[in-house]
Amino acid sequence: MEKLANEIWIFNGEPVQFFGLPYSTRMTVVRLSNGDLWVHSPIKLSETIQVQIEALGCVKYLIAPNHLHHLFLPEWISTYPEVQVFGTDEVIKKRSDITFDGSLNSLQNWAWEDDIEQELFSGSPLMEECVFYHKVSGTLIVTDLVENFSGHSFNYWQRLAAKGAGILAPNGKTPLDWRLSFMFGKQDARTHLDRLLSWDTKTLVMAHGEIVTENTDKFLAKSFKWLI
pLDDT tens per residue, range 53-108: 999 999 999 999 999 889 899 999 999 999 999 999 999 999 999 999 999 999 89
> Does residue 23 register a pLDDT over 80?
no
> pLDDT tens, 162-197?
888 888 889 999 999 889 998 889 999 999 999 999
Per-residue confidence (pLDDT) for residue 98, from 0 to 100: 96
For residues 127-137, average pLDDT: 96
CATH code at position 207? 3.60.15.10
92 lies in some domain: yes
79 lies in some domain: yes
Query: Domain residues for 117?
Result: 2-223
Dist. CA 181–CA 158, nearest whole Å:
22
Q: Is residue 133 within 8 Å of 141, Cβ to Cβ?
A: yes
Model-level pTM? 0.92
For residues 28-46, average pLDDT: 97
Q: How many domains does the chain have?
A: 1
228 lies in some domain: no
Per-residue confidence (pLDDT) for residue 228, from 0 to 100: 80
Q: Is residue 43 within 8 Å of 72, Cβ to Cβ?
A: yes
Helix orientation angle between 216-223 and 186-198, rounded to the nearest 10 degrees: 180
120 lies in some domain: yes
150 lies in some domain: yes
